[in-house]
Amino acid sequence: MFEGSFTALVTPFRDNALDKKAFQDFVRWQIEEGTHGLVPCGTTGESPTLDLAEHTEVVRLCIEAAGGKVPVMAGVGSNDTATAVHLAKEVAALGADGALLVTPYYNKPNQEGLYAHFKTVHDSCDIPIIIYNIPGRCIVDMSVETMGRLAELPRIVGVKDATSDLPRVKQQAAACGPDFEQLSGDDSTALDFAREGGTGAISVTSNVAPGACAKMWNAIRDGDFDTAKAIDDTLRDLHSDLFLDPSPGPAKYCLSLMGRMTPDLRLPLTPPYPETEAKLRAAMQKAGVSFGG
């Protein structure tokens, strides 16, 4: 179910409020472009600045706009286990196909704490869960051994791996089994991640170039890595330049040029610097992304 190009959706704002129409139009465009799945309320969706009611509303809007055409994997992460349980129950009730659960940030739990956190959320609801391991943001790093223990639970079905540690793909496959789905969380290394056995990506780049990202993963699925590499080469500057300033500021700037939404962010994020904007425009042109919607 969770294979191919999944977009880590940005959340459009207008005057600091959710722009519901822009968001649902954006979701429908993503599907038209061939995106294989949608991830609302992840870090790229500025989830730390959404209150619980907004979080639930964004997931509801995504599911409604998707209309069952592609799977929706809703972010439910928190560094408070009780809040993660609450969100997991909410998105399950809304009909999400899966839940993306990040390792608890700031608290810095040890491996036993990580296991207990994920098991508690797992036991609280009946929804498939994808582990999100991103040491660069969360400080903690889930070990292969801990992931293997969690993979024994029936509804822990995969990982979004943002470690950029490519040898882990095979190590995690050995620890977690062949059916454990491994999704890249790093656009810059996603193609190499696939070569190691990864089954997909949860992508920031696919906010801006969903068609190209989907075609790349279609080629990977077909075993055509030459075509996949050719597509990835056109996206290479976008992969890197979308992170020149804190994400999702650069992605929202690009989408504003495309007429998809305003570039509005919630504090503490601020717009990209002018020099970043210039590089983004060049990267969009290299990727063949059209300006103006």
d(CA 152, CA 129): 12
The DSSP result for 23-73, as a single string, is HHHHHHHHHHTT--EEETTSGGGTGGG--HHHHHHHHHHHHHHHTTSS-BE
* pTM for the full predicted model: 0.96
Domain count, the chain: 1
pLDDT tens column, 106-149: 999 999 999 999 999 999 999 999 999 999 999 999 999 999 99
**Residues involved in catalysis:** 132, 160
d(CA 282, CA 196): 31
**Within a domain: residue 169?**
yes
**Within a domain: residue 93?**
yes
Average pLDDT over residues 65-83: 98
Question: Which of 26-39 are b and which e, b meaning 16 or more Cβ less than 10 Å from the residue's Cβ?
Answer: bbebbbebbbbbbb
**Within a domain: residue 131?**
yes
Q: pLDDT at residue 230 above 90? A: yes
**Percent of the chain whose pLDDT exceeds 90:** 98
Q: pLDDT at residue 293 above 90? A: no
pLDDT of residue 291: 86
* CATH number of the structural domain spanning residue 201: 3.20.20.70
For residue 158, the 8-state DSSP code is E
pLDDT classification of 1: cutoffs 50, 70, 90: confident
For residue 101, give its domain range: 4-287
Tokens at 215, concatenated:
């075609």
- Angle value at C-alpha 149, between 143 and 155, nearest 5 degrees: 115
pLDDT of residue 257: 98
Q: Which of 148, 140, 203 is nearest to 174 (CA)?
A: 148
pLDDT tens column, 21-38: 999 999 999 999 999 999
**Within a domain: residue 292?**
no
**Within a domain: residue 110?**
yes
Q: At what angle do helices 81-94 and 111-124 cross, to 10 degrees?
A: 30
**Within a domain: residue 257?**
yes
**Percent of the chain whose pLDDT exceeds 70:** 100
**Within a domain: residue 293?**
no
**Within a domain: residue 232?**
yes
